[in-house]
Amino acid sequence: MSKPKEVILGVTGSIAAYKACELINRLKRRRINVSVVMTKEAEEFITPLTLQALSANKVIRSLFALTENVSPAHISLAQRAGLVLIAPATANIVAKLAAGLADDVLSALVLSTRAPVVLCCAMNEEMFKHKITQQNIARLKKIGYRFIGPRKGRLVCGGEGMGHLAKVEEIVEQVVAALK
C-alpha cells in the first residue's frame, strides 16, 4: 500500500495568510497530511506556533533547517510532497519562481520538487494586473504550474478588485482533485 500524499503548504507575506489556518483544518478533515513552510514575511501576519498546532507538524522557516535524518528540510519536504500549495502567493513569490530564484526555504523547495505546484494568488489588483506579474504567471503556467484565483473581492487597500484569495473551499476541492 502506498503512503498517502502530503501537501506542503507555503505561506507568504500577505494579509490573506490567516486563511492558511482554515486551509490546514479543511485539508486535515480530508485526512491529508499538511506540512507548512513559511517565509519570514509571512511571520508578520501569522505565527509559526499557530500553524504548527493546526498541522501537527514542525513549521519550516529557514533554508538551513535540518530534518531528523540531517537532510536539509527543503529537500526532505520536496521529496515527500504529493503537491506544493502556495496560499497566499504574493507577487514576490510569483516573481521569484518565474526567475528561478532559491533565496529562501519556500523558493528552494519549489525548485527541488517534482510534485505539482499550485499557486493561489493574493495581492493588490494593480500588482496582479501589472504586465510583469502577468508575464511571470504565463511563464509559470507554461512550465506546468497551476493557479487558483485570484478572485474579485474586498482588498486591504479598501476597495474591491481582482486580487482576493480564492475561497478556501475552492482551493481544497482543487487540491483534493489534483492529488487523485
pLDDT (tens digit, 9 = 90+) per residue, 86-130? 999 999 999 999 999 999 999 999 999 999 999 999 999 999 999
Residue 1: what pLDDT? 37
Length of the chain as a residue count:
180
Number of other residues whose CB lies within 10 A of the CB of residue 1:
3
Q: Classify the phi-psi angles of 31: left when phi > 0, otherwise alpha if psi is within -120 to 50, otherwise beta.
A: left
Q: Mark out the alpha helices in 68-130 (DSSP H runs).
A: 73-80, 91-99, 105-112, 125-129
Residue 165: what pLDDT? 96
More confident position, 3 or 68: 68
Whichever domain contains 27, its CATH number is 3.40.50.1950
Residue 5: what pLDDT? 76
pTM, rounded to two decimals: 0.93
In a domain, 175, yes or no: yes
C-alpha closest to that of 10 among 91, 173, 119: 119
Please list the active-site residues: 157
State the average pLDDT over residues 69-84: 82
CA contacts within 13 A on the Cβ side of 119: 27
In a domain, 152, yes or no: yes
Average pLDDT, the chain: 92
State the average pLDDT over residues 77-86: 93
In a domain, 1, yes or no: no
pLDDT-above-90 percentage for the chain: 79
Give the Cα separation of 132 and 135 in Å (integer).
5
pLDDT in tens, 23-63: 999 999 999 999 999 999 999 999 999 999 999 999 999 87
Q: Where in the sequence is the domain holding 123, given as residue range(s)?
A: 6-179
Contact 152, 10 (CB under 8 A): no
Give the Cα separation of 84 and 109 in Å (integer).
9
Number of domains into which the chain is organized: 1
In a domain, 142, yes or no: yes
